[in-house]
Amino acid sequence: MLETILNDVLAILRATFLSGDWIALAIAFGSVGVAALMMRRGTQIGSMTLMALALFAIGGYLRGVLASPAVEGAAVSGSRLAGQLQASWGVFMNMTAAALLSYFLAFMVLIFVIFGAKSVFARR
């Protein structure tokens, strides 16, 4: 069971942080960086991880809204916003608990590494 969880976490790390999609990579590292820089104590790792995941989800939603094909001559409309929200919610609802746990652990590890580096360099 532990091996399965570890394999899921590694797969999520590879898919999110080692993919060729530069925009998703920027969103992921941006959310992790913001959370790590806002973290004051190591005991905040859980709440900062949830915040990073929320920022990642919001960034993915906004990317979907801005990247979807626009209606001819129209700006971002309510139907595009609602359609992307429904699509994003559908993807979230279809995620397994293992995938959600894997995202949480992957983001937690990266936040902890960046926080550790920030703490080491802040002491000097």
Instruction: Say what the pLDDT of residue 33 is.
Output: 93
Instruction: Say what the pLDDT of residue 116 is.
Output: 92
Secondary structure of the chain in HEC code, one letter for each residue: CHHHHHHHHHHHHHHHHCCCCHHHHHHHHHHHHHHHHHCCCHHHHHHHHHHHHHHHHHHHHHHHHHHCCCCCCCCCCHHHHHHHHHHHHHHHHCCCHHHHHHHHHHHHHHHHHHHHHHHHHHHC
Per-residue pLDDT of the chain (124 residues; tens, 9 = 90+): 788 878 888 888 788 777 778 888 899 899 999 999 999 988 899 999 999 999 999 998 888 888 766 655 555 567 777 888 888 888 888 888 878 888 898 899 999 999 999 989 988 6
Instruction: Say what the pLDDT of residue 55 is.
Output: 94
The model's pTM: 0.80
Instruction: Say what the pLDDT of residue 72 is.
Output: 56
Q: Distance (Å, rounded) from C-alpha 120 to C-alpha 98? A: 33
Instruction: State how many domains the chain has.
Output: 1
Instruction: Say what the pLDDT of residue 34 is.
Output: 95
Instruction: Say what the pLDDT of residue 114 is.
Output: 94
Full residue range of the structural domain in which residue 88 is found: 2-123
